[in-house]
């Protein structure tokens, strides 16, 4: 039986009955992802929950029968003490079993919340990023006839990025944008939002503090709690991406089929502790604790979600194409794909100073994984049975990485940086030059 046949089960995270009935398939998915899951404990808890449900139902039927007998005896003015005692004994047993059932249910949910989404059949099996196949390329990397500077050096020379003072103020992996640098960041944000509006997305401004349940809804918690920033003594978290707020915008709702697909975009600051990135990309704008991003989120019917993934990816690529930045698209293999994703394309931009492509957007189809956790459904027609939507998300783009790519790809021999044509109307200039000394 396929996942689709279970999509109306009404459980959170992965459909629990699907997991139990397809335990070997789920185990293979876990193995392909090179992760771990407590599937034996899942089976034990799932089966015990089923036993408890049956036991309680049987006891309630017995109690109902005894209650009916008590009523009859009282109508006949006969003694019902034995039956009353029997009813109390049955009620006590039900209370004990209900308490156990609540604990089993909680434990089962905690185990299930740590199960990754099922990879789509089209996702290549692989160990890590080295096994990600390339889908396509756009543009030819520029040939330079002068020494290439890294974006962090260009930023400091042009006096538009200040890493030193940011470290003084906030510590490592933070940046001050200054003057034209701040204007370039703002120009990119406006350009991306304007483009996404033309592509059919509704612009949103969202909260940047969210509850624990909101992060559970999109899959960041409980598995990745070390990667998000928690407000001390409060159960609020800074968002790692607007995917969190945009996806949960419809949590607990039933949409109509006619409303789908729904497309949203939002610019927000994003906050990530980068707990597992010690020693990686310590310089520059590639891996920051705080960065700006324009996010795209889609809500789709299940049968159209993979078509929507292709559209989403092309929408992200169009940003780079209009900026005339060479890039490529890769498919993430099972060993590199995200926890909640069924299929992901990464868009990687060419970074001349590193002589390699670097991720600038990640576009994913989460199928019904997030919708189950956040309880987002839709109805086909007025009387259709509610089904879980499919959710998709993608960066359009990570703004700081786009700044880095522009600085490196558009640099000139004299240390200046040309402004991409589509940004010039937002910037009011064509070139960023070093300040006169």
pLDDT in tens, 16-64: 999 999 999 999 999 999 999 999 999 999 999 999 999 999 999 999 9
Number of neighbouring beta carbons within 10 Å of residue 92: 10
The residues that bridge with 295 in the sheet, in sequence order, are 266, 395
User: Three-class SS of residue 158?
Assistant: coil
Say if residues 220 and 373 touch (Cβ distance below 8 Å): no
Catalytic residues: 272, 287, 359, 362, 401
Strands 202-204 and 343-351: unpaired
Domains, the chain, ordered by start: 3-112 (1.10.287.40), 129-432 (3.30.930.10)
Determine the Cα–Cα distance for residues 290 and 12; give it in Å rounded to an integer. 31
Going by C-beta distance under 8 Å and a sequence separation of 6 or more, which residues neighbour residue 250?
A: 262, 299, 374, 376, 389
Say if residues 328 and 137 touch (Cβ distance below 8 Å): yes
The residues that bridge with 237 in the sheet, in sequence order, are 210, 230
Indicate the pTM of the whole model.
0.93
Concatenating the DSSP letter of every residue in 117-128 gives PPPPTTSPP-SS
Determine the Cα–Cα distance for residues 182 and 414; give it in Å rounded to an integer. 22
pLDDT of 366 reads 98
Tokens 């060419």, residue located: 350
Backbone dihedral angles phi then psi of residue 287, each to the nearest 5 degrees = -135, 95
Compute the CA torsion angle 280, 286, 291, 297 (nearest 10 deg).
-110
In the predicted model, residues of the chain with pLDDT beneath 70 are: 1-13, 276-278, 437
Say if residues 370 and 389 touch (Cβ distance below 8 Å): no
pLDDT of 276 reads 65
Determine the Cα–Cα distance for residues 127 and 125; give it in Å rounded to an integer. 7
pLDDT of 436 reads 79
The Cβ-side half-sphere exposure at 109, using a 13 Å CA radius, reads 13
Query: What six digits make up the tokens of 321?
Result: 């194409």
pLDDT of 278 reads 67
Say if residues 411 and 351 touch (Cβ distance below 8 Å): no
User: pLDDT tens across 363-402, in order?
Assistant: 999 999 999 999 999 999 999 999 999 999 999 999 999 9
Q: In what order do the strands lie in the sheet with 262-271?
A: 134-138, 327-331, 343-351, 356-365, 390-398, 290-300, 262-271, 202-204
Q: DSSP strand E in 113-261: where?
A: 134-138, 161-162, 176-177, 202-204, 209-211, 236-238, 254-256
Determine the Cα–Cα distance for residues 181 and 159; give it in Å rounded to an integer. 8
H or E stretch at 218: helix 212-218
Strands 176-177 and 202-204: unpaired
pLDDT of 274 reads 83
């Amino acid at each position: 039986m396929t996942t689709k046949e279970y999509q109306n089960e009404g459980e959170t995270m992965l459909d629990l009955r699907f997991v139990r009935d397809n335990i070997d398939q789920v185990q293979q998915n876990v193995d392909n992802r090179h992760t771990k899951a407590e599937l034996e404990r899942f089976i034990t808890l799932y089966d015990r929950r089923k036993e408890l449900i049956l036991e309680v139902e049987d006891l309630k039927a017995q109690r109902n029968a005894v209650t009916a007998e008590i009523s009859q005896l009282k109508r006949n003015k006969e003694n019902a003490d034995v039956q009353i005692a029997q009813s109390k004994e049955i009620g006590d047993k039900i209370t004990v079993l209900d308490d156990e059932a609540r604990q089993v249910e909680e434990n089962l949910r905690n185990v299930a919340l740590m199960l990754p989404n099922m990879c789509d059949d089209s996702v290549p099996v692989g160990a890590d990023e080295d096994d990600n196949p390339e889908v396509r390329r756009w543009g030819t990397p520029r040939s330079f006839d002068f020494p290439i500077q890294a974006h962090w050096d260009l930023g400091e020379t042009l006096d538009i990025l200040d890493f030193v003072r940011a470290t003084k103020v906030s510590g490592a992996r933070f940046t001050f944008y200054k003057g034209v640098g701040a204007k370039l960041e703002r120009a990119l944000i406006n350009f991306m939002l304007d483009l996404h509006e033309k592509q059919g997305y509704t612009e949103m401004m969202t909260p940047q503090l969210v509850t624990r349940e909101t992060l559970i809804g999109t899959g960041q918690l409980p598995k990745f709690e070390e990667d998000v920033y928690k407000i001390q003594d409060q159960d609020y978290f800074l968002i790692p991406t607007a995917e969190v707020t945009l996806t949960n915008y419809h949590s607990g709702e039933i949409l109509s089929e006619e409303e789908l697909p729904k497309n949203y975009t939002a610019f927000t600051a994003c906050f990530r502790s980068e707990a597992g990135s010690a020693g990686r990309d310590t310089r520059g704008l590639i891996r920051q604790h705080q960065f700006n991003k324009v996010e795209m989120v889609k809500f789709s019917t299940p049968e159209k979600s993979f078509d929507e993934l292709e559209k989403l990816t092309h929408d992200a690529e169009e940003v780079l194409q209009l900026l005339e930045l060479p890039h490529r698209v890769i498919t993430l293999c099972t060993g590199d794909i995200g926890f909640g994703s069924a299929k992901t394309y990464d868009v990687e931009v060419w970074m001349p100073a590193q002589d390699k492509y670097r991720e600038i957007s990640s576009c994913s189809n989460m199928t019904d994984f997030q919708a189950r956790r956040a309880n987002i459904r839709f109805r086909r027609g007025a009387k259709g049975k509610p089904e879980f939507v499919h959710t998709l998300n993608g960066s359009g783009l990570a703004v700081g990485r786009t700044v880095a790519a522009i600085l490196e790809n558009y640099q000139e021999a004299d240390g200046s940086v040309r402004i991409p044509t589509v940004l010039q109307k937002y910037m009011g200039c064509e070139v960023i030059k070093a300040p006169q000394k």
